[in-house]
């Protein structure tokens, strides 16, 4: 483990620092070199909202499919108490996952609006 850490730190020192030194401008115009922001968000809150939006877009169809699957499990149980208990647990966990996903969005909006007030 120490050898890997030593190798990585040596690599960074040998190649990383000179690369950073080359990034400085040599002209006296003061224009400088700018790094383009690959993200479409300028603040941390915008970035977190974008990530949350992606999670909701992916999670919503998964939640719908999970509820459909739970419905099939109830139909498949056909009165068997053990299988009904399993289906009830699946329904509970699916509902909890839905609440967490939607609650995260609501909490994000609440924090965003609170921060924007100040």
Residue 68: what pLDDT? 95
- pTM, two decimal places: 0.60
Residue 89: what pLDDT? 95
Is residue 78 one of the residues assigned to a domain? yes
What is the C-alpha to C-alpha distance for residues 67 and 90, in angstroms, rounded to an integer? 9
Residue 15: what pLDDT? 62
Count of structural domains, the chain: 1
Per-residue burial over 46-83, b if 16 or more Cβ lie within 10 Å, else e, is: eeebeebeeeeeebeeebeebeeebeebeeebeeeeee
Residue 26: what pLDDT? 52
Q: Which residues of the chain have pLDDT under 70?
A: 1-6, 8, 10-32, 117-118
Long-range contacts of 113-116 (CB under 8 A, 24+ apart): 115/45
Domain membership of residue 80 as a residue range: 40-118
Three-state SS at 21: helix
């Amino acid at each position: 483990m120490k050898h890997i850490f030593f190798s990585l730190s040596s690599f960074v020192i040998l190649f990383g620092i000179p690369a950073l030194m080359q990034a400085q401008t040599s002209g006296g115009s003061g224009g400088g070199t700018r790094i383009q922001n690959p993200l479409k968000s300028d603040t941390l809150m915008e970035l977190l909202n974008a990530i949350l939006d992606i999670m909701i877009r992916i999670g919503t169809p998964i939640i719908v499919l999970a509820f459909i699957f739970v419905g099939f499990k109830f139909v498949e149980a056909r009165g068997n108490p053990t299988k009904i208990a399993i289906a009830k647990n699946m329904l509970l966990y699916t509902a909890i996952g839905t609440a967490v996903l939607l609650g995260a969005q609501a909490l994000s909006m609440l924090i965003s609006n609170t921060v924007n007030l100040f």
